[in-house]
Amino acid sequence: MSVIAVTGGTGFVGRHFLDLALGSGHTLRALTRRPQEPRDGVCWIEGDLGDTPALEKLCEGAGAVVHIAGAISAPDREGFAEANIAGTERMIAAAQAKGVRRFVHISSLAAREPDLSLYGWSKAGSEERVRESGLDWTIIRPPAVYGPGDRETLELFKMAAKGRIILPPPGRISLIHVADLCELIAAIVNAAGTIGALYEPDDRREGGLTHREFGEALGRAVGRKVRTYSMPAWLVRLAARSDRLYRGKNAKLTPDRARYFCHPDWAVDPDRAPPADLWAPRYRDDDGLAQTANWYREKGWL
């Protein structure tokens, strides 16, 4: 099997991808900011997306790059640009310097709306750099990713367990289980027919879920009948300003994320679905959310 260079291997999606790739017989070179426990099949490379020598070392002997790392929040435009645009530029340059042609870029559905948020703008910018790279690239734009180990959606599960879920203004959302996303990434790495393609994968629920349907699905996952409450956009924006005042640069609900959350359509484009003969999801929303809730309970998180 091939050697794969991975960024973001210590994050939520990255950890799952490492497990899957190792189970498939791949050898991995993975970037890390902090020392990691030794692991068979993984060569840890200490550094970050600003460390060109580390990125070139990461690419040594690799047959493909899977670029997962990036920032979902930052204090300002420059922070997003550095992590998501400049970081991708450096990763591309390292791949080129070491002769690695295959480049799989994990973007975000947010890139579809670059004028909506700084995050979306930066992810669209990263995609542009990949398209212009001259490498054998494939871009994946996941929608909302959930699954065992995810702390972002954990808070929603906790609300569901209490019988009430506060949601953004009415809209639609597509979902993908982290295991399904990682299986797609692995399938794409060696699939020559995917070069130059941009995919928006999900669990194949046509049109996604309304926010209310999503809340009700979370309730079923934890075995509770829930009441859902949609916050008006002005209240979400007010909460974001309050969080920024209270926690400063550590705020989780930033004004940028508030604009993202308030957008009414985060359902994938079915015309950008991966080919059915390449990949098909194993988890639909009810099954995947129930499996995730059970994992949270087993770990004492829920």
DSSP characters over the chain: --EEEEESTTSHHHHHHHHHHHHTT-EEEEEESS----BTTEEEEE--TT-HHHHHHHHTT-SEEEE----S--SSHHHHIIIIIIHHHHHHHHHHHTT--EEEEE--GGGG-TTT-HHHHHHHHHHHHHHTT-SEEEEE---EEE-TT-STTHHHHHHHHTTEEEE-SS-EE-EEEHHHHHHHHHHHHT-GGGTT-EE------TT-EEHHHHHHHHHHHHT---EEEEPPHHHHHHHHHHHHHHHGGG-SS-HHHHHHHH-SEE---GGGPPPTTT---S--HHHHHHHHHHHHHHTT--
Binned at pLDDT 50, 70 and 90, residue 156 comes out as very high
The proportion of the chain whose per-residue pLDDT surpasses 90, expressed as a percent, equals 83
Q: pLDDT value at position 231?
A: 80
Average pLDDT of the chain is 92
Q: What is the pLDDT of residue 257?
A: 75
Stretch 218-231: mean pLDDT: 92
Instruction: State pLDDT tens for residues 237-275.
Output: 776 666 556 665 655 667 777 787 878 999 999 999 999
Give yes or no for residue 149 having a pLDDT over 90: yes
Is CATH 3.40.50.720 the right assignment for the domain spanning 3-141?
A: yes
pLDDT for res 240: 60
Over residues 182-206, mean pLDDT = 96
More confident residue, 297 or 262: 297
The pTM (predicted TM-score) of the whole model is 0.94
Percent of the residues in the chain that have a pLDDT greater than 70, as a whole number: 94
pLDDT at res. 43: 96
pLDDT at 235: 73
Q: Where are the domains of the chain?
A: 3-141
